[in-house]
Copies of this chain bind each other. A is one copy, B any other.
Amino acid sequence: MEHRIDRIKKQLHSQSYKLTPQREATVRVLLEREDDHLSAEDVYLLVKEKAPEIGLATVYRTLELLSELKIVDKINFGDGVSRYDLRKEGAKHFHHHLVCTECGSVEEIEDDLLEDVERIVQNEWGFQVKDHRLTFHGICKQCQTITVNASS
């Protein structure tokens, strides 16, 4: 973890931003909950445990900054809140999501499934792809078995 914090620190410094204690605490929360998809409010509450004096606005600003630097990605699953998702280190593309409409769980897919599709978009539409957002809505493995059991 320290290693990643160090790298993020350097990324900030390279754009002449500082890694303040508040920012560091925020990053630590994101690292600790890497698989989750926290809202700004969620992050705020968790950061408060480490740094009780932090303000909500600071969390918003920090998340915004981390977004700009492509350290986190801001996503929206349609429930009215933005969620913040740490990019895997060195990941070239933003990972995909599987959102279960039954239980609300969110699974991540790291594999880049869009290489072919992006090539098509590039060639046939002349659109120069820089990034993407891909989310599938459906029923997760677990809920499928539950449904089967319940109906038997």
Contact = CB atoms under 8 A, between A and B. Distances in A.
Nearest to A127: B98
A135 interface: yes
B127 A138 contact: yes
The copy count of this chain in the complex is 2
Contact of A117 (B117, B126, B130, B140): B117
A149 to B, nearest CB: 15
A135 B138 contact: no
Interface in A78-100: 78, 80, 82, 98, 100
A129 to B, nearest CB: 4
A131 B114 CA distance: 16
Interface in A124-147: 125-141, 144
Contact of A113 (B117, B128, B129, B135): B117
Interface residues of A, number: 35
A116 B113 CA distance: 9
Given A131-B136, A132-B136, A133-B133, A126 B114 contact: no
28 contacts: A74-B78, A76-B78, A78-B82, A98-B121, A100-B127, A101-B130, A109-B125, A113-B121, A116-B116, A117-B117, A117-B134, A121-B136, A126-B141, A127-B136, A127-B139, A127-B140, A128-B138, A128-B139, A128-B144, A130-B137, A130-B139, A131-B137, A132-B136, A132-B137, A133-B134, A133-B135, A134-B134, A134-B135
